[in-house]
Chains A and B, each alone.
Chain A
Amino acid sequence: MLVVGLAVAVALLGVLVAGLLRGHAEVLRALHELGVDLDPSSSPRRESNTGWVGVRSPGTARRVGTRPTPRRPSESDVVDLTGSTPSGDSVSLAVAGVGHDTLIAFLTSGCATCRSFWEAFRSSELEVPGGARLVVVTRGSEAESPGAIANLAGDLPVVMSSEVWEHYDIPYAPYFVYVSGPGSQVVGEGVAAGWEEVKLLVSNAVTDGTTAPKKGWRARSPADQRRDDFVDRQLREAGIEPGDPRLYPTSITDAGGGS
């Protein structure tokens, strides 16, 4: 009888362990599909100029294999930060085609990790590597309280815009995107547990020279720029805004060329 009882207990424990292992495997597989590589042998160094970098805890930067931003077609698909300030002003801050770089911090008023960033950013001694301009972007007033954001932000430049959040396809907060102004492209992005980790990531991007314009890049001539702006206006009047799927056809039929 005792033997039978022990056999049953061992069998139950076996089933339990198997279930736990299966659950663990499913978690790992889900993380892998999101682009997170937890292999300890992976190098923490960025793999490419436009690669993602994630930081889990101080000093343990980890490479993230794939871009979890499929709706953003390329690193050059950057938009200016247009929305409202916590005090209700309309604002548009330029990040592309300008001489300075911008570090965009996507924060919320509620997440615990964001709190440490809000506090760090209010410091008058805050230094952003590369001399980049720091701008905080939150969701719009339909999702965040302007009053709460105003209390957290102090004199920080803050743009409240769910459209910007969606365009950059931000998966969670806090999240950071570093945009090269001269290059008009994203040169680094990812998550971090604290400001020191963000500074490390930005320093790497700056040291790598990734904020410089691409080789052969030159500023658009005023005539070209006017032509671009004219096309932009025409598209906008036709109801086609930045990120509109019609701008990124996946087949000749989508582009209207099929018959």
Chain B
Amino acid sequence: MTTYISGFGLSLTVPRGWEAVIYRRVPSADEATHPVIQAATVPIPSQRGDYGGGIVESLGSNDVFVAFLEFGPQAAGSALFPSVLDVPELSPDSFRARQLQRTIPGQAGVQRFFSIAGRSFCLYSVIGAFTARFALCGQANELIGSLRVQEGQ
């Protein structure tokens, strides 16, 4: 049974066997924080980093991690965050071991920056095994395809 979660103008259908969270860190003084979606085929612990620190270490060879990280409205439409109509799908060959935030043997990652509905995002995904990238990329795309973004304020 799939489940559906939403928050901060973002929504996601969570496939069976996945778990996901939509959160926004409490800002400290002089800091602005923005919404983050994390989804994984492994348990998401309470203590973790926005880019999956604390999660990616537990990925097995059949596991996937996906994060959507929103940036400030000033970034929307800039050169780094081109405007798109739909959240971009990933291709198996876009995953690279060198694109990991933290290199873990066997794993591969990919990062995409884009603006949608006037909001800017980074899409970051890690797969447990580069050798299984075709199957795992398909799983990631199933989740990515369900992301919906409401218009920015």
Contacts and interface: CB of A to CB of B under 8 A. Distances in A.
A94 B44 CA distance: 10
A242 B1 contact: yes
Contact of A157 (B2, B6, B17, B45): B45
A90 B5 contact: yes
A133 B43 contact: yes
A18 interface: no
Interface residues of A, number: 30
A91 B24 CA distance: 12
B46 A93 contact: no
> Interface size for chain B: under 10, 10 to 19, 20 to 34, or 35 or more residues?
20 to 34
B153 interface: no
Contact of A232 (B1, B5, B19): B1
B47 interface: yes
A91 B16 contact: no
B90 interface: no
Nearest to A94: B19
Given A157-B45, A157-B46, A82 B21 contact: no
B45 A90 contact: no
A242 B24 CA distance: 28
Interface stretch (B7-15, B111-119, B120-128): B7-15
Contact of B3 (A80, A155, A157, A225): A80
Contacts of A225: 15-16
Contacts, number: 82
A20 to B, nearest CB: 50
Contacts of A82: 3-5, 14
A87 interface: yes
B14 A90 contact: no
Contacts of A96: 1, 16-17
B18 interface: yes
Nearest to A100: B43
B80 interface: no
B2 A232 contact: yes
B5 A233 contact: no
Given A236-B4, A242-B1, A85 B16 contact: no
B135 interface: yes
A155 B46 contact: yes
A242 B14 CA distance: 14
Contacts of A233: 2, 13
Interface string A143-163: 000000000000111000000
B14 A97 contact: no
A157 B60 CA distance: 22
Contacts of A128: none
Contacts of A85: 21, 23
Given A80-B19, A90-B22, A94-B14, 19 more contacts: A80-B3, A82-B3, A89-B21, A89-B22, A91-B19, A92-B5, A92-B20, A92-B21, A93-B44, A94-B16, A94-B19, A94-B43, A97-B16, A100-B43, A133-B43, A156-B46, A225-B15, A228-B16, A232-B1
